[in-house]
A = this chain, B = another copy of it.
Amino acid sequence: MQNFNFYNPTRIIFGENAISELQNFISKKYKILMIYGKGSIKENGIYDQVKLALKDYNLLEFGGVEANPSYETLMKAVTIVKKEKIDFLLAVGGGSVIDGTKFISAASLFDGNAWDILSKKVEIKKAISFATVLTLPASGSEMNNGAVISRKESHEKLVFSNELVYPQFSILDPSVCTSLPKEQIANGIIDAFVHVIEQYLTFPVNSPLQDRFAESILNTLIEEGPKLFANSSDYESAGNIMWCATMALNGLIVCGVPEDWSTHMIGHELTSLTGIDHAQTLAIVLPGVLSVMKENKKIKLLQYAEKVWNIDEVDESKKINLAIEKTEKFFHFFNVKTKLSDYKVSLGVIDEIVARFEKRQLKLGERSDITSDKVREILRVRL
């Protein structure tokens, strides 16, 4: 096992009607800005539940955060936070709204050009406290300190993370899943699944507990995902999927083990250039990464085949191919297409993505050996 530093102070309040507990965790003295997305919370009743729980508070609102939250939109919220002297932010939404709120939290108290937090990785020194009401199990953003922010102007999608932007608490009520469209449930399950893969399918470092935890999440997603996909009102499955998604990216399973993240890095570029949904890009890219990098990942791929897909096969190469096939079929089960051609992505897009990685001279993967040439190979096999 490698050395590590684990810290995660986010409180999780989990269960039916948990939204009604909001007032137990926010000081009445605070002036709050509630941040949400395109307004689906007004249709599914979550907006009303939050308003009711916070009826005694000085509560302002900022709606309209888009999927792949944009710097442009978020800076409008920063203006409000500064002008209104907001003390506390409340994100009500999925990963995009929560990621956006993290950026607002940091940018509102940042001296200088807030874009530098993303582009130059300038470290923030303070941030406004915030909490979340999760409306979609997927990103894990409700219990971590990372955010992915896009800039429309330049078609960039960049990440930042800081210990100051852990949510103070997050409300996880599985019943929010009832009103979710099937596609969002599918995307959420795939997002969580690939988060685990990025922290598990690398190379072995004698970390049996972390490996078992990762396999636990994958197996539970495989078992419970189809139930929730079939019936979004299944509270029990919704709870299990929600807890899986949170655990998939809260810093726990990565303690002491290598990380990959190449699927995400390539996927982000694909989203920023084509607008394909985040989870869909993961479903496209992951099988490419696994097949192109299969020699590098051999030992863990064999373990994955056995422990996650119960593949009983002596020939190692066949075993690995079967595991990759099963992974892709798992995505297909949720009606998510996994080839670039399914999304009519042109060869030109591949060239542009490769050019971006070339320019940044960034090498991806757990061994930093996925060069821009490898990125091309990975995308080519997904045509």
Contact = CB atoms under 8 A, between A and B. Distances in A.
Taken together, the copies of this chain in the complex come to 2
A244 B255 CA distance: 12
Contacts of A16: 3
B12 A4 contact: yes
Nearest to A24: B5
Nearest to A17: B3
A15 interface: yes
The winner among A1, A219, A240, A252 for most chain B CB atoms within 10 A is A1
B4 A209 contact: no
B3 A11 contact: no
A4 B6 CA distance: 22
Interface stretch (A146-154, A210-218, A352-360): A210-218
A62 to B, nearest CB: 27
Interface residues of A, number: 41
A220 B247 CA distance: 19
A258 interface: no
Interface in A203-232: 206-210, 212-213, 215-217, 219-220, 223-224
Contacts of A216: 209, 212-213, 215-216
B9 A9 contact: yes
B240 A206 contact: yes
A240 B12 contact: no
Contacts of A217: 209
A92 to B, nearest CB: 19
A364 to B, nearest CB: 25
Interface string A31-68: 00000000000000000000000000000000000000
A1 B239 contact: yes
Contact of A209 (B7, B207, B220): B220
A239 B216 CA distance: 20
Nearest to A210: B243
A2 B169 CA distance: 18
Nearest to A244: B209
A7 B3 contact: no
A18 interface: yes
A247 B208 CA distance: 13
Contacts of A18: 3
B4 A247 contact: no
Contact of A212 (B11, B220, B255): B220
A336 B62 CA distance: 62
A14 B9 contact: no
A206 B243 contact: no
Contacts of A5: 11-14
A7 B1 contact: no
B255 A243 contact: yes
A115 B167 CA distance: 36
A243 B257 CA distance: 13
Contacts of A212: 212, 215-216, 219-220
The winner among A169, A208, A217, A247 for most chain B CB atoms within 10 A is A208
A373 B224 CA distance: 41
Interface of A: 1-16, 18, 169, 206-210, 212-213, 215-217, 219-220, 223-224, 236, 239-240, 243-244, 247, 252, 255-256
16 contacts: A3-B14, A3-B15, A3-B16, A3-B18, A4-B14, A4-B15, A6-B12, A7-B10, A12-B255, A14-B255, A208-B220, A209-B244, A209-B247, A212-B212, A212-B216, A212-B219
